[in-house]
Structure 1
Amino acid sequence: MRALTLLAALSAAGASVTASPLGPPKSPRSSASDINPFVGKKLFANPKWAAKLEDTYKSFTQKGDKANAAVVRKVEKIGTFVWVTSRSGLSEIDDAIKAARDEQSRTGQKQVVGLVLYNLPDRDCSAGESAGELSSKNDGLRIYKEQFVKPYAAKLAAAKDLQFAVVLEPDSLGNAVTNTGVEFCKQAVPTYREGIAFAIKNLQLDNVALYLDAANGGWLGWGDSLPLAAKEFATVLSLAKPATIRGFSTNVSNYNPYLTSNTTRPRDSYTAGSPSYDESHYASSLSPYLIQQGLPSHFIIDQGRVALPGARKEWGEWCNVGPAGFGHVPTTDQTVLQNGNVDAIVWVKPGGESDGQCGLAGAPRAGAWFGGYVEMLVKNADASVKN
């Protein structure tokens, strides 16, 4: 699952970061509770993902690498989002609810269950590595609404004892902003808008915090793209009125660092000319345009995988990038975040699941387990994972 990072025209104009003057801000459209859903809770650690990591643990153990085997044990306990990507996959919600309830009961620690809703008709219109089961030409929008979104919402509504954070349709609106030069994407935009608005309206639940996906800083974070992105998000929210969202998700399934600095992680050369040279700065760059459109400016930022410096020659490299490592552990600690717009660092993409048959040699189809890749993520894991 990944779209083109930028159109050629936007890449050519990358040095342009002049922002359009903003008028008086409108009243932000925020969630009913307006409370960070991650504070005081543990991001649910999916035991199904932990089970997949057992082979990684055994591999390190067989090599006598006790240090990295111990890191795997720590990774298995870190919370990740559960992806629900098809009608048959709706059972993943049931499994996550049961496991989260068991964990909540066992530990007394309130859980926040991270879910991804990802099954739009004509999804992944520009890249195609994660094309889904539904087509707008084959009654896909109706099926999406009736057989995917409605039962999805019903399952969450029935689990009032749990808090959910739902990421809505990664990459889709990013394609609507920059990739309408691709005919398939151009045709898909009305479907994307209507489908996402329907999901927002149906997930207006007290125990659900919605995060509309905002791609990543390398894609929509350029000066010319920021107001266009905010306008697109506002268009979708206007279709869902009076429904609300908590905020936006960024860097889902991508590899951008959260925060760069001269003393820790240096900026990559390909970020020159962009105000959004890391994901924290992307949140800060996009925030005023969201507020101007009457939208909330809260963010969760995926750091499940982060490219090491020098791993990419351009931002457009998105598939099984290497070398990379597990990023900073999920947290709401502002001494780490250093950005009041950010609700939390999270792990949305479960490390080890392939982006597609691209990138590093031997990569399997999108979503399939890539054993060699997850070993690399462990070896290069952030210090917060290892400590």
Structure 2
Amino acid sequence: MSRTNPPPRRSRRRAYLVAGALVGAAAMTVSTLSTASAGDDPQVLQRVDNPYAGAQLYVNPDWSAAATEGGGAAIADQPTAVWLDSRAAIEGGSAGSNTMGLREHLDEAVAQGADAIQIVTYNLPGRDCAALASNGELGPEEIDVYKTEFIDPINAIVSDPAYAGLRIINIVEIDSLPNLITNVGSRETATPECDEMLANGNYVEGVGYNVATLGDNENVYNYIDIGHHGWIGWEDNFQATADLLFEAANAGGATPDDVAGFAANTANYSATVEENFAIGDTINGQPIRGESSWIDWNNYVDEQSFAQDFASVAAPAAGFPQGLGVVIDTSRNGWGGPDRPSGPGPETSADEYVDGGRYDRRIHLGNWCNQSGAGLGERPAAAPAANIDAYAWVKPPGESDGSSEEIPNDEGKGFDRMCDPTYEGNPRNQNNPSGALPDAPISGHWFQAQFEELLANAYPPL
């Protein structure tokens, strides 16, 4: 079995929502943000190490209305990220919906009295070169369009002095750079599309331009995506990913000072913490690493240990400053409900021990699309552990990862067989069944059946 784990792939877009009534903003931590004078303007915020700390985060009324209508009134006041996944999404109307544009969200955040807002910038040329469900609108060579028609217009809005009192948390280009580590060259998981993006350099240049341009604003905090432990936690992938991120942090006019931290598990399902086994455990005198088919030769078993080591070990080794934090997306990794293990599995074999005790109930770590049995995870919280800036719901619960069958659309989104519940897999999930739910709409559109499962299987329970 390969020591470089097939990369779990996923997609996650803005939802097809109906704007609804404003709900109260949810506070991660109740406190008053400090300000510093800039001239005579008291609204300019001091730069902080962790933008989530002490911040009341923006609650998106578009998502809140859909969650309430879908039976999720108990969580409708939770903060979720605003996805900017196309040029049209900047002004509103992404995914054919009547959702608000970026300026409207920022105005709403000010009206709510929020201290911070989370956005996802997600529109690189040749986007998501290993998953058809999340293909984007720009061709592989359209880096100039990305800069001038996507990032520059976003920057023109966020740099408006009216929003200088908001911390703007920017989750940067999900999946892009990790794809250039695992899905290229002679690897079994390689795709021609990822080889092209590695060769033309437009992922690196685009990420660099993104963090450089938006990072020129003192109130913007850029978090670059690092995939998740099941994808990047392998020896061949871990440091190489940090090194590539550092290259991007020095491209397109950027410097490492433009990077506030990293984002892990975005729109994915990996458990935050696995409590019933650890990487150093042994069964019958043999280490479970290498013996368990679930772990294989990965160095990590959960997101938190992976993220902490990435921030404290791999990133500084690549050249980033010490002290950067990680945001872990916990929107769909709770894995509660009746199938949640209450303790370790039997010590009869490594497989039975790990499989009997793991919270993550996916068939394989490489499964990323609309996973059956998933539940809401930890509620958004600031600084829950060392080197972790926040648990956050970056992927708004209820949004589809991709359609379970081909659905014609004008959003540039294809049909990926990993979203087909009948699919028997590929090298990126070691040829296992997809584990996807049936009857799913295209990525970013509201998926009521999945939302109901997330509520039912929430952990901590609702």
- Alignment counterpart, residue 262 of structure 2, candidates 223, 241, 248: 248
- Alignment counterpart, residue 154 of structure 1, candidates 128, 153, 156: 156
2:429 corresponds to: none
- Alignment counterpart, residue 329 of structure 1, candidates 371, 379, 398: 379
Equivalent position amino acid for 2:124 in 1: L
- Alignment counterpart, residue 183 of structure 2, candidates 155, 158, 179: 179
1:238 corresponds to: 250
How many residue pairs were aligned?
334
**Equivalent residues of 2:130, 2:191 under 8 A apart:** yes
Rate the CA distance shift 1:9–1:125 in 2: closer, same or farther, 3 A: farther
Equivalent position amino acid for 1:270 in 2: W
- Alignment counterpart, residue 316 of structure 1, candidates 366, 371, 376: 366
TM-score after normalising by structure 2: 0.69
Q: When you count helix as a share of all residues, which structure comes out higher? A: 1
Q: CA deviation at 1:8?
A: 5.8
Rate the CA distance shift 1:135–1:263 in 2: closer, same or farther, 3 A: closer
Q: Give the Cα–Cα distance (whole angstroms) in 2 for the partners of residues 269 and 278 of structure 1.
A: 15
Q: CA deviation at 1:269?
A: 6.1
Q: Give the Cα–Cα distance (whole angstroms) in 1 for the partners of residues 74 and 399 of structure 2.
A: 18
State the secondary structure of the residue aligned to 2:134: coil
**Equivalent residues of 1:226, 1:285 under 8 A apart:** no
1:20 corresponds to: none
2:395 corresponds to: 349
2:349 corresponds to: none
**Equivalent residues of 2:172, 2:207 under 8 A apart:** yes
> More displaced, 82-91 or 293-302?
293-302
Equivalent position amino acid for 1:290 in 2: A
Rate the CA distance shift 1:8–1:89 in 2: closer, same or farther, 3 A: farther
- Alignment counterpart, residue 291 of structure 1, candidates 306, 312, 316: 316
Q: Give the Cα–Cα distance (whole angstroms) in 2 for the partners of residues 9 and 382 of structure 1.
A: 31
**Equivalent residues of 2:60, 2:79 under 8 A apart:** yes
**Equivalent residues of 1:126, 1:179 under 8 A apart:** yes
Q: Give the Cα–Cα distance (whole angstroms) in 2 for the partners of residues 238 and 161 of structure 1.
A: 28
Structure 1 vs Structure 2 CA RMSD? 2.3
Q: Give the Cα–Cα distance (whole angstroms) in 1 for the partners of residues 397 and 360 of structure 2.
A: 20
1:18 corresponds to: none
> More displaced, 183-192 or 234-243?
234-243
**Equivalent residues of 1:275, 1:281 under 8 A apart:** no
State the secondary structure of the residue aligned to 2:401: coil
1:83 corresponds to: 83
Equivalent position amino acid for 2:294 in 1: Y
State the secondary structure of the residue aligned to 1:306: coil
Cα deviation code 1:334-354 (max 9, x no counterpart): xxx33x211111010001110
Q: Give the Cα–Cα distance (whole angstroms) in 2 for the partners of residues 53 and 113 of structure 1.
A: 19
Percent identity (aligned) = 31
Q: Give the Cα–Cα distance (whole angstroms) in 1 for the partners of residues 57 and 67 of structure 2.
A: 18
State the secondary structure of the residue aligned to 2:381: coil
State the secondary structure of the residue aligned to 1:249: strand
Cα deviation code 1:238-292 (max 9, x no counterpart): 214435210100000100111121299x999613542221111111232312111
1:73 is the counterpart of 2:98: no
Equivalent position amino acid for 2:307 in 1: A
1:203 is the counterpart of 2:205: no
Equivalent position amino acid for 1:244 in 2: D
Cα deviation code 1:67-89 (max 9, x no counterpart): xxxxx222100000010011110
Q: Give the Cα–Cα distance (whole angstroms) in 1 for the partners of residues 334 and 295 of structure 2.
A: 14
Q: Give the Cα–Cα distance (whole angstroms) in 1 for the partners of residues 206 and 399 of structure 2.
A: 26
Equivalent position amino acid for 1:111 in 2: D
2:332 corresponds to: 305
Rate the CA distance shift 1:310–1:289 in 2: closer, same or farther, 3 A: closer
Q: Give the Cα–Cα distance (whole angstroms) in 2 for the partners of residues 210 and 275 of structure 1.
A: 27
Q: CA deviation at 1:222?
A: 1.2
Superposition map of 1:359-378 within 5 A: 359-378=436-455
Q: Give the Cα–Cα distance (whole angstroms) in 2 for the partners of residues 34 and 182 of structure 1.
A: 40
1:10 is the counterpart of 2:4: yes
State the secondary structure of the residue aligned to 1:329: coil
> More displaced, 94-103 or 190-199?
94-103
Rate the CA distance shift 1:227–1:263 in 2: closer, same or farther, 3 A: closer
State the secondary structure of the residue aligned to 2:242: helix
1:97 is the counterpart of 2:109: no
Q: Give the Cα–Cα distance (whole angstroms) in 1 for the partners of residues 250 and 107 of structure 2.
A: 35
2:17 corresponds to: none
Rate the CA distance shift 1:293–1:255 in 2: closer, same or farther, 3 A: same
**Equivalent residues of 1:356, 1:367 under 8 A apart:** yes
- Alignment counterpart, residue 132 of structure 1, candidates 112, 132, 136: 136
- Alignment counterpart, residue 52 of structure 1, candidates 59, 62, 66: 66
1:213 is the counterpart of 2:263: no
**Equivalent residues of 2:3, 2:296 under 8 A apart:** no
Q: Give the Cα–Cα distance (whole angstroms) in 1 for the partners of residues 334 and 110 of structure 2.
A: 34
1:22 corresponds to: none
**Equivalent residues of 1:307, 1:321 under 8 A apart:** no
Q: Give the Cα–Cα distance (whole angstroms) in 1 for the partners of residues 74 and 260 of structure 2.
A: 30
**Equivalent residues of 1:300, 1:344 under 8 A apart:** yes
- Alignment counterpart, residue 53 of structure 2, candidates 19, 39, 43: 39
Larger Rg, first or second structure (1 or 2): 2
Q: CA deviation at 1:141?
A: 1.1
Equivalent position amino acid for 2:51 in 1: P
Q: Give the Cα–Cα distance (whole angstroms) in 2 for the partners of residues 263 and 234 of structure 1.
A: 32
Q: Give the Cα–Cα distance (whole angstroms) in 2 for the partners of residues 251 and 197 of structure 1.
A: 21
Q: CA deviation at 1:131?
A: 0.7
- Alignment counterpart, residue 223 of structure 1, candidates 235, 254, 260: 235
